[in-house]
Amino acid sequence: MRSFQRGVLDLRPVVLTPGVSRYAEGSVQVEFGHTKVLVTCSTEERVPPHLMGKGTGWVTAEYGMLPRATHSRSQREAAKGKQTGRTMEIQRLIGRSLRAAVDLSTLGTRTLTLDCDVLQADGGTRTASITGAYVALVLALRSLQKQGVISKMPKLTPMAAVSVGVVGGEVRVDLDYEEDSKADVDLNIVATGDGRMVEVQGTAEHQLFDRKTLDAMLDGGLAAIQQLVAAQAKVLE
């Protein structure tokens, strides 16, 4: 039986708690089952050097995990003096995804930074981060509009992310840590509610996958993303 007594294509309970930070322009705590990520969106009235003078804005992301977010403690990246390849890969993915969620040319000369810090990790931290980051970003933009910093909201493309895997021969959506560690194939999808994709990253963990399996995973993932986008919309109502 899967955690939370759910079917193979069901998400874990999703909780989006907006406004958890007193200081950030936008913030949300996102939970996918036992996975908890604190996401803040910070705004800054300048852009990176390569965009200066182009009149466009920028969205970037950083990702971190508290040392004891996981079953056993891992070394603190700040103490080690560098971020792991996994961290870099994830924060690059989050950044790319969120840049596709907002029309940068209408953002003004400003940077939105999404900090995704994993408080507790039970699988799916990158997909929960992206799902939460969209909410934090919208909240930050609303706050800028309310303060009169921007006159109207930039064009937004609601999107969310979910993991899909093949475990014991069956396609399952939103894997928890235990499932993830024994999955044969692992796929992360970032997409809109109507099935247009931003990112698709599939990896054969122990077994190659064919087109049919990929199709089944995409079907399951895109259906789940529809629910996640609905959950985002509700919290942003």
158 in contact with a copy of itself (CB under 8 A):
no
197 in contact with a copy of itself (CB under 8 A):
yes
Residue 113 marked ligand-binding: no
Binders of a copy of itself among residues 93 to 132 (CB under 8 A) are: 96, 100, 113, 115, 117, 119-120, 122
226 in contact with a copy of itself (CB under 8 A):
no
38 in contact with a copy of itself (CB under 8 A):
yes
Indicate the residue among 82 and 234 with the shorter CB distance to a copy of itself.
82
Q: Which stretch binds a copy of itself (CB under 8 A): 47-55, 81-89, 141-149, 225-233?
A: 81-89
Phi and psi, residue 201, nearest 5°: -130, 105
68 in contact with a copy of itself (CB under 8 A):
yes
Distance CA 118, CA 136 (A): 15
Tokens 């990253």 label which residue? 201
Among 88, 153, 230, 233, binds a copy of itself (CB under 8 A): 88
66 and 118 Cβ atoms separated by less than 8 Å:
yes
Indicate the residue among 89 and 170 with the shorter CB distance to a copy of itself.
89
Question: Token pair for residue 228?
Answer: 């996640």
Distance CA 133, CA 131 (A): 6
Question: For residue 131, what are the contacts with CB-CB under 8 A and spacing of at least 6?
Answer: 14, 16, 30, 32, 160, 161, 162, 228, 232
Question: Token pair for residue 64?
Answer: 């971190």
Indicate the residue among 22 and 146 with the shorter CB distance to a copy of itself.
22
Task: Give the gyration radius of the chain's Cα atoms.
Answer: 18
